[in-house]
Structures are given as C-alpha cells and as structure tokens.
Structure 1
Amino acid sequence: MAHHFARGLLLAALGLSAPGLAGCAAFSPDSGMSAVSDLTSQTIHKDVAFVRSPEGAEAASGTVRRLLSRTLSTDAAVQIALLNNKGLQAAYNELALAETDLVEQSLPPNPVFSVSRISGNGASEIERQVVGDILALATLPFRSDIARERFRQAQLRAALATLRLAADVRRAHVRAVAANEMVVLLTDAKSTAESTAQLAVKLGETGSLNKLDQAREQVFYAETTADLATARQAATSGRERLARLMGLWDDGLDFRLPTQLPPLPRRPLTLPSIEADAVGHRIDLQIARLELTSLAKALDLTEATRFVTLLDLAGISRRTQDPDSAPFRERGFDVQFQIPIFDGGEVRVRQAAETYNLAFNRLTERAVNVRSEARDAYRTYRSTYDIASHYQREIVPLRKIITEEMQIRFSSMQVDIFALLTEARQRLASLRRAIDAKQSYFLAQSELQTVVNGGGSPASGGDNPTTIAAAAPAEGGH
C-alpha cells in the first residue's frame, strides 16, 4: 500500500507541475539585450554590445580603435563609451543575472525523493518518500508572471544605465572641448599681454609711462597667466573625466579633441509637446509603471495565500517502539498547516497594500516632477540658445569691428597704444563670455535630451522600486 500511495502522490505532483512546465522561461541567446539595444538605438541612435566572448571583445576593440583614429566628436565619444565602459558591461551582467531569476521563478519545484533502509524483526525494507511543495506549485503562475515583470524592469534599468552613461559622456565632451577653446584663447591673450608688459617696462625706463600704467599692464599679464594655468588644469581634468567614461587607458589616452565647440544651429528646436514626450519616453517612468503592475500582482498573490504559509504533503515511513510489543512500522501521510487563529494574514496583506500605495503616490509625485523638469529644461535650452546666439551674432562681431577701427586709428596716430590695449582686454572678456555661453547652450541641449529620454541623475531616494516614481496617468486608478 505504501508503494501505491507514494506512486499516486508522485503522479499527482507531476500532474500539478505539468501546467507550469508548459510556461517555463528559457534563457535567451543574448540575455535580454535585444530590448536594451532597441531602446537605445531609438533614443540616441547608437550601438550597444554585451561583450562575453573573445570575438565580441575584439570586434568592440576594433570599432574603438577606428573611432579613436580621428578627432573625437561627441557622437564618437558616446559610441566608444557604450562599447568600452566596463561599468556599463557590469550593468549588462546584472541583466543576465536577472534572467536567471526569471528562469528560476518560472520552474516548478523539483520533486524530492528520499531513500531509507529500515530493519526490524530480521526483515529489511526500502521505503521511498515523496515530498512536493504544493503551495509553490499552486502559486507558480503568479510567481512566473511577476518574475517576467521584474525581468522587463531589469531590461529597462540596463537601458537606463546606457542612457545615463551617454548623457555623462556628452556633458564631459562639451566641457573638455570648451576648456580647450578657452586654453587657445588665453594662450593668445597671454602672448599679447606679455608683449605689452615688456613694452610698458621699456616705456617706463624712458619715462614715457608712469608707474600706475606700468602696473596695470603688468597685472593684466599676471592675471592672464593665472587664468591660462587654471584653464589648462580644467582642460586636463576634463580630458581625464572623458577618458574614464570611455574606459580608455594606456595607448587610448592620446585621443584628439576639437579645439573649439561647433557653431550654433541656425534655429533652436521647437518642442510644443515636450511634457507629453517626456512622460511617454522616459525609461525610468516605464520602470516605475512596471513596478506598480508587479506590486498589484504581488498583492493578488498575497491575498491568495494569506491563510496558508506552509503546506507539505509527504508519503512517510516512520518507526515507532511500543514498550509492550515488538518494533513495528506505520505507513501513511502527514499534512501540516498553520491555523489562522492569531494572524489570519492581515499583516502581510496590509504590508503589500501599503507598499503598493507608496509606489502609487511616488508615481504621481514623479509624474508632476517630470512635467516640470521638461518645461524647465526647454526654457533653459531656449534661454541659453538666445544668449549664445546674441554673443555669436551681435557682441563678438561688434567687438571685432571695434578692434579693427581702433587699429586703423592707432595707425593714423589718432589713439595711443594704451587705448588699443584697453580695447583688447575688453574684447578678450567678451570672447571668454561667448565661450561660456556656447558651452552652456550645448550642456542645456544635452540636458533637454536627457529629460525627454531619461538618463539623468537618479531621483532622490535612489532607484528602489518602491520609491522610484512612474509617470503615466494612473492606470487602473489608486
């Protein structure tokens, strides 16, 4: 009878497993990277690669070497970082680990067979014990569905890490190139200031220049020298930050950067639907929406299992000893479960419900913030464009005209050398502000792209699934 009972129990356990086996997840060929690649190609139009083989590493290295052989544009720097940054590769490793969790959660529990040898009254017998986790089998569809949502979130997080790296590289490249442009400008200014200071010394020796004017020329040269040293340090630090983000070392560190930022576009972007675009495309908001869906399903699972925390059904063989009789064996089965006298599952249900409510409120908060961030980013973008354009089209050309007219008047001896030098100092100040304005514009342009697509700094509170916010209009309500 024991053998027949064990056989029937085994068949029952396998029968319960059959529906789950049909929906078991399997490992994908690329560990879920296809979704990451699609998202990033749609937003930043760049290739990504999860390097897991010598052939893949060599292909990525070949592309990096080819891009480094030319002067490094912003797009080229971003592409190098996406292929070569090891921190990003680690994020893709986390995605691969998330897929293992998906596969694990979609599998039914393995049946457990135990073999024991029991002897008594000169006889021996092999009894088999079959244990099946009925609760795990019953909740398998719920757990598998939740695991798929979690894996989708992991894919979006990997895409978000990709976009964040791309945004960091864009900003670092803009700052590094702007620093180079400032170095070039101040190098020329220092040369002019040095010549002027030497002239002032000679004129002072002849008595043609008083000490006050001599000191003014000397201090301008000294200040320009200090400014140049500061600009060179900023350029060096900016270059190193860019190299870190691109994952470069040794021979890769001799990359070439442009000497100046590109010209402004003829006209700025017009984005009347910037708020809707941000809400619709932000990857961090997609993650939060999926998290809310997962929490809703988890709440349903908690409701379904609130009264049952453990249910083990087992065929057993147990040896007992009666003081008044010979040893004998009992065969049968044992069912154990908790009786909900003190805790009927309300605590776990309330915890799940409040976790869901917390995520929902964070979602709503973040939805408001994303819209505000989008409006502010666009206003900043337009403002910095107008300011940079004003310098490029008005102030710098006017300064050039003034300098040319002053040189003509100096040649005809209508003004002296010091009036010409005063104008040169004023022109230098305008050119420096023009570089700063152009840098601010390109940084604002990068921030605008980040606000729409995602990839900015993590929201306060981190990326914890229960604290990150989602955006879309509340699906299903509160």
Structure 2
Amino acid sequence: MQGIRRLAPLVAATALAGCASFSPDGGMSVVADITGRTTAKEVASIRTGDDAARMRDATRKLLARPLSADAAVQVALFNNKGLQAAFRQLALSEADAVEASLPPNPTFSLMRISGDGAFEAERQVAGDILALATLPLRSEIARERFHQAQLRAALATLRLAAEVRRAHVRVVAANELVALLVEAQSAAEATAKLAAKLGETGALNRLDQAREQVFYAETTAELATARRAAGSARERLIRLMGLWGDDLDFRLPGKLPALPRRPLTEPFVERDAVAHRIDLQIARLELTALATSLQLSEATRFVTLLDLAGLERKTGEPDGRVIRERGYDLQFQIPIFDGGEVRVRQAAETYNIAFNRLTERAVTVRSEARDAYRSYRAAYDIAGHYAREVLPLRQIISEEMQLRYSSMQVDIFALLLEARQRLASRRAAIDAVRDFFLAEAELSAAVNGGGGAAAETTAQQTASAVAPGDH
C-alpha cells in the first residue's frame, strides 16, 4: 500500500492540473467581437428553442419592410444553417481543446490468482509522467488551436456577410435593369406599330420598318434574359439568407442606393489589411502553435515513453502465511535507433513552411488591399461620372430633341434614335453603380477578411501543415 501512497502526489497533481473547463458561450464572444467591428450586426449560435424563436421573430420584423443590404446580412446571420454548422464546429473545437488540456488519467489494475491453498494478489496505480510533465506545452498548443477555430468561425461569418452583400447588390441592380427594359420594350412596341402603319401608307420603306421591328424584338429578348438573371440572383440571395416557405415574399428596394458623397481614402489601407485580415491572424497563430510544438519536440526528444506505477503485491502461502511486497515499476523507452532527431527535424521544417507561407500571405494581403482600393476608387469615379456628366447631358439632349420634334425640325425617327442612345447610357449607369457597390464589398473583404475561398487557401494550407499533437 505504501507504493500506492507514494504515487498519491502524482494523482493529486493530475487532478489539480485537469481544471480545464468549457466557456459559457462556446467561444462565441470572441467571434461576435471580431465580426461586430466590421459588420455591426448581431452574431449568435442557436442552442435552444428560445434562441430559435428569438431569431425567428427578429427575421420576420426585418422581412416586413423593403430589405436593405444591411438587413439582408442580418437575416443571413440569423438563418444560414451553414454558418450555424460552423458555430457548432467551434463548439466541437472547444471540446477538443479541453480534452487536449487535461492530463492523462491514472490507470488502476487489480489481479488475483489462487489455487492449491495459495493465492497471489496485486494492485497497481500507473501514471504517464512524461505526459504530465509536458502538459503546460500541450495546453498552450490546445489554446492556440481553439483561438484559431474562433478566428475561422469569424472568417466564415465575414465571408457570408460579404457574399450576401454582393448578392443583394446584384439582385437590386438586376431588378432595376428589368424595370428599365420594360419601359424600353413598351416604347419599342409602340414604335414598331407606328412603323407598320407608316409602311402601309407608303411613308416608310421596308428597311426602316424592319429596323424598328428588330429593335422591338431584340428588346423583348433582352427583357426575358434580364428577368431570368434577376430571378436567379434573387434565388441566390434567398439561399444565402437561409429562407424558405412564407419568407420568400420579401420586398427589395427599387434601385441601388445613391453613391456616397466622398470615397474612402487610401493612406492606411495596407496597414489596416495587415492588422485586421483574419486569415493572416490565423496564420500567425499557427506559427505560434508550431513554435510551441517545436519546443515540445525538443523536450521529448530522448524520452518518448515514461510510465511510473505504484505496486502492492500479496502472496498467500498454503500454511496461512501472507507475504506483502511493495514498490514501484518504472518503464521508459531507450532511444537506441531513434534519438528524436526525426521528430525535431519534422517540427522545425513544418515551422519553416508556416513561416514562409505567412510571409507570402502578408505580401499577398498588401497587394490585394491596394488592388481592391484602386478598383473601388475607379468604380466610384466611373459611377460618379455617369451621375454628374453623362446622364444630365443625355437629359438635356432628350429635352432639346423633344422641342425640335414639336417644332417639326426633326422627325419621329430621330427622336427614337436619341431615346435608344439614352437607354444605353442609363443601362451603363446602372452597371456602374452596381460595380461600385460590389467593389466596396470587395474592399471590405480585402481589409478585414471574408473574400472568396481562394483567398484563404494559404492560411488553410498552413493550418493543415501539422495536426494537433503531431509533434
């Protein structure tokens, strides 16, 4: 029994070291803080029926009025089940982190053998001393891995918000184009009928009649194509927001918002991107975790298995005498063939891979931020040019042509030609405003994270370069 008592301090230390516990919110507070600074929206993991009911009520209130881009993002954060799966994955990662932070459980064994009036009994309590000694390093690695999981959940949230914003811009612009083409089709139909009547009187030749009729036919085809594109864009927005059933009848604004009075400035876009990009933060944490793994590999280089057991053995003789034996059993692996150099080299090279990928990612992030800002500023200038120059001039031309037509200085077909040119300018203006708001979403993603999956490939490669506990 004394051998077991000698092992008692080890067991007590094990119990004290195993105080890791679960956070009350599954790590969601960090996710909410990170995404809240960028989206200014509520982020929550649906865990109970009350949570689901609250999200449902909030969604219905948002869908009761014309759905803005900000409201669409909030609806998606409440209802997208893929995002909720990412939050549950975060809870699973916390469970893995808590498990990795716990010391190994001691092993208790009991043996009894009897026969011919004699017996032999043995009790043993064993503990993995090496695992206990390296527990602080393993716990630190586990914490880093969990923090990475929190950042990945935040990244998934920002990516969804960016995709919803882009989808909203596209569907509103598509609807605006449909309304424009409906107006154009109506005018083209009236013109085609007029051309047919003039042709019957001989006032218009067949060539001019065909031109008016083909314009009407082409406009009708363009309208059908635009309606199909608008329907597909709306369905994509619906999928991202996670809606179905009665929620599909939501309304959208009739046109895109006006351009901001002033564009964002450039001076700190690179600095902000390097400081805020979540994929870059994940890569930095991975480098820190790998550095800790390298220390762990160094610490366990020569000893990879060390078990200590407290023993108590009783032997019963046929004459009734009982012999008690106490002591301990120590087992360790002798590094004859593998002195740990392979594991240390693997850990070091994995660290070097992560370091180079982090450096490459930092360079890429800077470039993406610069490129996104240039696209944003160019789109702002182009859309502003249409709003300030092209459309007002087209309006002046239209008014002048109306006056000249009223005074019989130009015929109806000159007026119609100008109307077609004005239609082309209005279509280009809609596209320019759409491109600006898409570029604005891309700039936010380039600075804060949340771009396409391809933009995060390097961080994922770095994170998967070594699995937890490999070294």
Normalised TM-score (structure 1):
0.92
Residues 200-234 of structure 1: CA distance to partner in whole angstroms, max 9, x if unpaired? 11111111111110111011111101111111011
Give the 3-state SS of the residue equivalent to 2:108 in structure 1: strand
The residue type equivalent to 2:123 in the other structure is: R
Report the counterpart of residue 4 of structure 1 in structure 2. 2
Whether 2:69 is the aligned partner of 1:74: answer: yes
Report the counterpart of residue 449 of structure 2 in structure 1. 454
The residue type equivalent to 1:5 in the other structure is: G
Give the 3-state SS of the residue equivalent to 1:119 in structure 2: strand
**Equivalent residues of 1:275, 1:374 under 8 A apart:** yes
Whether 2:404 is the aligned partner of 1:406: answer: no
CA shift at 1:94, angstroms?
0.7
Report the counterpart of residue 466 of structure 1 in structure 2. 462
Residues 210-259 of structure 1: CA distance to partner in whole angstroms, max 9, x if unpaired? 11101110111111011111110111000000000000001111110111
Report the counterpart of residue 242 of structure 2 in structure 1. 247
Report the counterpart of residue 140 of structure 1 in structure 2. 135
**Equivalent residues of 1:461, 1:468 under 8 A apart:** no
Report the counterpart of residue 176 of structure 1 in structure 2. 171
CA shift at 1:192, angstroms?
0.4
Once residues 13 and 121 of structure 1 are traced to their aligned partners in structure 2, the CA distance between those partners, rounded to angstroms, is 38
Once residues 467 and 133 of structure 1 are traced to their aligned partners in structure 2, the CA distance between those partners, rounded to angstroms, is 29
Once residues 15 and 126 of structure 2 are traced to their aligned partners in structure 1, the CA distance between those partners, rounded to angstroms, is 16
Q: Identify unmatched segments of 5+ residues in structure 1.
A: 321-327, 470-478
Alignment map for 1:250-265 (pairs within 5 Å): 250-265=245-260
CA shift at 1:311, angstroms?
1.7
Alpha carbons of 1:428 and 1:267: their partners in 2 closer, same or farther (altered >3 Å)? Answer: same
Report the counterpart of residue 20 of structure 1 in structure 2. 17
The residue type equivalent to 2:419 in the other structure is: A
Alpha carbons of 1:385 and 1:160: their partners in 2 closer, same or farther (altered >3 Å)? Answer: same
Alpha carbons of 1:273 and 1:462: their partners in 2 closer, same or farther (altered >3 Å)? Answer: closer
Alignment map for 1:421-460 (pairs within 5 Å): 421-458=416-453, 459=455
Report the counterpart of residue 210 of structure 1 in structure 2. 205
Residues 139-169 of structure 1: CA distance to partner in whole angstroms, max 9, x if unpaired? 1111111101111111111111100000000
Residues 250-300 of structure 1: CA distance to partner in whole angstroms, max 9, x if unpaired? 111111011111111122111311100111111111111111101000000
Q: Identify unmatched segments of 5+ residues in structure 2.
A: 316-322, 466-471
The residue type equivalent to 1:456 in the other structure is: G
Match for residue 262 of structure 2 among 267, 273, 293: 267
CA shift at 1:106, angstroms?
1.6
CA shift at 1:319, angstroms?
11
CA shift at 1:318, angstroms?
8.9
Once residues 319 and 132 of structure 1 are traced to their aligned partners in structure 2, the CA distance between those partners, rounded to angstroms, is 22
Whether 2:149 is the aligned partner of 1:154: answer: yes
**Equivalent residues of 1:359, 1:468 under 8 A apart:** no
CA shift at 1:43, angstroms?
1.4
Give the 3-state SS of the residue equivalent to 1:117 in structure 2: strand
The residue type equivalent to 1:144 in the other structure is: S
Once residues 419 and 255 of structure 1 are traced to their aligned partners in structure 2, the CA distance between those partners, rounded to angstroms, is 42
Report the counterpart of residue 468 of structure 2 in structure 1. none
Alpha carbons of 1:468 and 1:364: their partners in 2 closer, same or farther (altered >3 Å)? Answer: farther
Residues 159-207 of structure 1: CA distance to partner in whole angstroms, max 9, x if unpaired? 1110000000000000000000000000000000011011111111111
Alpha carbons of 1:190 and 1:373: their partners in 2 closer, same or farther (altered >3 Å)? Answer: same
CA shift at 1:20, angstroms?
1.9
Give the 3-state SS of the residue equivalent to 2:462 in structure 1: coil
| Greater alpha carbon shift after TM alignment, 112-121 vs 26-35 | 112-121
**Equivalent residues of 2:121, 2:313 under 8 A apart:** no
Alignment map for 1:254-403 (pairs within 5 Å): 254-315=249-310, 333-403=328-398
CA shift at 1:27, angstroms?
0.8
Whether 2:224 is the aligned partner of 1:226: answer: no
Once residues 421 and 464 of structure 2 are traced to their aligned partners in structure 1, the CA distance between those partners, rounded to angstroms, is 49
CA shift at 1:74, angstroms?
0.3
Once residues 127 and 7 of structure 1 are traced to their aligned partners in structure 2, the CA distance between those partners, rounded to angstroms, is 15
Alignment map for 1:115-126 (pairs within 5 Å): 115-126=110-121
Alpha carbons of 1:219 and 1:332: their partners in 2 closer, same or farther (altered >3 Å)? Answer: same
CA shift at 1:307, angstroms?
1.2
**Equivalent residues of 1:102, 1:151 under 8 A apart:** yes
CA shift at 1:388, angstroms?
0.5
Normalised TM-score (structure 2):
0.93
CA shift at 1:117, angstroms?
2.0
Match for residue 41 of structure 1 among 36, 46, 54: 36
Once residues 294 and 83 of structure 1 are traced to their aligned partners in structure 2, the CA distance between those partners, rounded to angstroms, is 33
Give the 3-state SS of the residue equivalent to 1:466 in structure 2: helix
Taking every aligned residue pair, what percent have the same amino acid on both sides?
Answer: 70
CA shift at 1:16, angstroms?
3.9
Once residues 304 and 375 of structure 2 are traced to their aligned partners in structure 1, the CA distance between those partners, rounded to angstroms, is 55
CA shift at 1:317, angstroms?
7.6
**Equivalent residues of 2:175, 2:254 under 8 A apart:** yes
Once residues 363 and 464 of structure 2 are traced to their aligned partners in structure 1, the CA distance between those partners, rounded to angstroms, is 13
